[in-house]
C-alpha cells in the first residue's frame, strides 16, 4: 500500500473504518485510497469535512451540495488526463465512502465521467448453452455450467474449494456449496456483499465429478479452479469470441458488454424471478440478499430452500419448450427402438396402395412418386396406434424391434454428460430427444 494510503488510514478513523469494512483485497484498497487521496488533493476537503457537508445538506433537504459541485469539477479535470475506467474507479471510491457512512450519492453520478457505462448483457438459454458447448476443455465447461446454476459473484468461483461442496455431493442430484462465513458478512455497513445460499444441480455435479477424476487425488482445501483472476476473465472472453465466429450467438451491440460471469449471474437471477410461486424471503436468499434475521439461515430453512431450488428454480434455469404431442409420441417409439419415420412411411405406402385400388379413372390419380403426406393429426393417430400395438405385444410377454433383427435389447434415456461413459461400456447412441436427453441401447445377452 502507498505511503499516502497508509497515512489516510492512520490519520482519519472514518477512512479506516470504511476501508476495513468493505474489502480485504489489497489491490482494491490501493485503488480506493488512491482515489480518495486524489480528490482530497484537488478539493482540499478532508474526509470529516466531506461527511459534514453531506450531513448538513441532507438535514436541509438539499441532496446536491458543494461536495457534489467539487466532485463534478474533479471529474471534468481528471477525464482529460486519465482513462475512463481510472476516473470511474476514483469516483466509486468517494461513492463507497459516503454510502458506508449513510450518505450515498446517486448511482448515476459516476457516469458523468465520459460516456455512459455499457449495459450488462443478459443471455438467453440458447446463448448459455452455446457458451458451454464451445468451452472445449473440462475446466471451462464446468465453470460456465456452475455459473449458470449458481448466482454467486465471480469471486466465489475463483476461491471455490472442494471442501465447500457438501458431504456426499458426488451421489446427489442437487448439492449445496457451503460458503465460508466471510461470504455472509456480519459487520454493519452499506457495502457488505452477501452471497446466495448456493446450490448446484445435476449438470454441474456430473462435470465436477469428471474434473475430480481427471485431477486424481484432491484435497479439501484445494481450489476447484486453481488459476489467476485473469484466467477467469480471459477464458470467458475467448469462448464468447469463438461462439461469435461460429455464428452460435450474436455479437454484442455497441451499448452492451460482452457475455461474462456477471451475465451468467444475471441469467440465474432472471430464472429466480420467473418463479412466481416462491416467497420474497426465498427469492432474497437465493439471490444473496441480506434478510437481517438469523432464523432464515437455520438448517431447517436451508433444507426448505433446497426443495424450492430443486422444484422451481433448477427447472427454470434449463427451461426448454414443451414438446408437442407428436414429438412425445416419436420419442416414446425411439425409446423402444422403433423408427417413427419407418412407421409413417409404411402407413403412407398402405394408403397409396388403397387409393390405387379404389381409383377407377375418376378424380386425380395418386402421385407416381410413391409418397403420401399425412397431416400432423393423422401422424399422431398412426404413432398412437403403433404404441398400442407394441404395448399389447409387451403385455403378451413378447419383445419386438424393427431395427435389431428381432433380438431383444435394453434401452435407457441419459444426459449428454453421461454419454461417453455409456459408449465406453458398449452402448449405442439411438437418438437425441427434443428435451436434450439422449436415447441409448445395447443388445441383451440371451441364452
pLDDT, position 99: 84
CATH of domain 125-317: 1.10.443
pLDDT, position 2: 44
Measured distance CA(149)–CA(309) in Å, rounded: 10
Q: Which residues of 266-289 are buried (b: 16+ CB within 10 A; e: fewer)?
A: bbbbebbeebeebeeebbbbbbbe
End-to-end Cα, the chain, rounded Å: 78
pTM for the predicted model, two decimal places:
0.54
* Residues in the chain with pLDDT values less than 70: 1-5, 80, 83-85, 106-117, 186-192, 291-297, 320-324, 356-373, 393-410, 416-417, 431-436, 444-447
Measured distance CA(8)–CA(3) in Å, rounded: 9
pLDDT, position 102: 83
pLDDT, position 371: 56
Q: Where are the domains of the chain?
A: 3-112, 125-317, 325-443
pLDDT, position 238: 94
pLDDT, position 322: 58
Measured distance CA(273)–CA(125) in Å, rounded: 15
Give the list of residues 6+ apart from residue 27 with CB closer than 8 angstroms, or none: none
pLDDT, position 73: 85
pLDDT, position 402: 40
- Report angle CA 340, 343, 349 to the nearest 5 degrees: 140
Measured distance CA(284)–CA(154) in Å, rounded: 19
List, as one string, the DSSP characters of 391-426: HHHHHTT----SSSTT--EEEEEE-GGGHHHHHHTT
Amino acid at each position: 500500500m502507498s505511503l499516502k494510503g497508509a497515512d489516510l488510514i492512520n490519520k482519519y478513523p472514518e477512512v479506516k473504518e470504511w476501508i476495513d469494512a468493505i474489502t480485504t483485497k489489497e489491490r482494491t484498497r490501493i485503488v480506493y485510497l488512491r482515489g480518495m487521496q486524489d480528490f482530497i488533493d484537488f478539493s482540499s476537503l478532508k474526509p470529516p469535512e466531506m461527511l459534514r457537508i453531506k450531513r448538513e445538506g441532507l438535514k436541509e433537504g438539499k441532496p446536491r451540495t458543494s461536495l457534489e459541485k467539487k466532485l463534478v469539477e474533479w471529474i471534468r479535470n481528471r477525464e482529460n488526463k486519465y482513462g475512463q475506467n481510472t476516473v470511474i474507479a476514483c469516483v466509486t471510491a468517494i461513492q463507497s465512502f459516503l454510502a458506508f457512512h449513510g450518505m450515498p450519492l446517486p448511482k448515476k453520478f459516476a457516469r458523468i465521467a465520459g460516456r455512459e457505462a455499457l449495459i450488462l448483457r443478459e443471455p438467453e438459454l440458447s446463448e448459455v448453452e452455446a457458451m458451454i458447448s464451445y468451452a472445449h476443455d473440462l475446466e471451462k465447461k464446468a465453470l460456465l455450467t456452475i455459473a449458470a446454476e449458481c448466482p454467486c459473484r465471480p469471486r466465489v468461483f475463483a476461491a471455490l474449494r472442494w471442501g465447500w461442496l457438501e458431504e456426499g455431493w458426488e451421489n446427489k442430484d442437487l448439492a449445496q456449496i457451503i460458503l465460508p462465513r466471510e461470504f455472509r458478512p456480519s459487520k454493519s455497513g452499506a457495502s457488505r456483499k452477501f452471497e446466495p445460499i448456493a446450490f448446484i444441480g445435476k449438470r454441474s455435479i456430473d462435470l465436477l465429478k469428471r474434473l475430480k477424476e481427471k485431477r486424481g487425488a484432491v484435497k479439501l482445501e484445494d481450489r476447484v479452479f486453481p488459476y489467476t483472476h485473469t484466467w477467469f476473465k480471459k477464458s470467458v472472453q475467448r469462448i464468447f469470441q469463438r461462439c461469435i465466429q461460429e455464428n452460435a450467438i450474436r455479437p454484442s451491440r455497441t451499448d452492451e458488454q460482452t457475455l461474462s460471469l456477471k451475465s451468467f449471474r444475471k441469467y440465474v437471477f432472471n430464472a429466480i424471478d420467473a418463479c412466481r410461486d416462491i416467497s420474497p424471503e426465498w427469492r432474497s436468499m437465493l439471490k444473496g440478499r441480506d434478510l437481517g434475521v438469523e432464523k432464515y439461515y437455520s438448517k431447517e430453512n436451508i433444507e426448505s430452500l433446497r426443495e424450492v431450488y430443486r422444484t422451481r428454480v433448477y427447472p427454470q434455469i434449463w427451461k426448454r419448450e414443451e414438446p408437442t404431442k407428436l414429438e412425445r409420441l416419436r420419442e416414446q417409439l425411439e425409446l423402444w427402438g422403433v423408427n417413427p419415420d419407418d412407421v409413417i412411411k409404411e402407413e403412407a405406402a398402405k394408403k397409396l396402395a388403397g387409393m390405387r385400388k379404389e381409383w377407377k379413372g375418376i378424380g386425380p390419380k395418386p402421385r407416381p412418386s410413391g409418397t403420401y403426406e399425412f397431416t400432423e393429426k393423422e401422424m399422431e393417430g398412426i404413432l398412437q396406434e403403433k404404441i398400442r400395438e407394441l404395448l399389447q405385444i409387451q403385455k403378451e410377454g413378447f419383445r419386438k424391434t424393427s431395427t435389431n433383427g428381432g433380438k431383444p435389447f435394453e434401452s435407457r434415456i441419459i444426459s449428454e454428460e453421461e454419454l461417453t461413459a455409456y459408449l465406453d461400456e458398449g452402448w449405442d447412441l439411438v437418438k437425441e430427444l427434443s428435451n436434450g436427453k439422449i436415447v441409448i441401447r445395447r443388445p441383451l445377452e440371451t441364452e
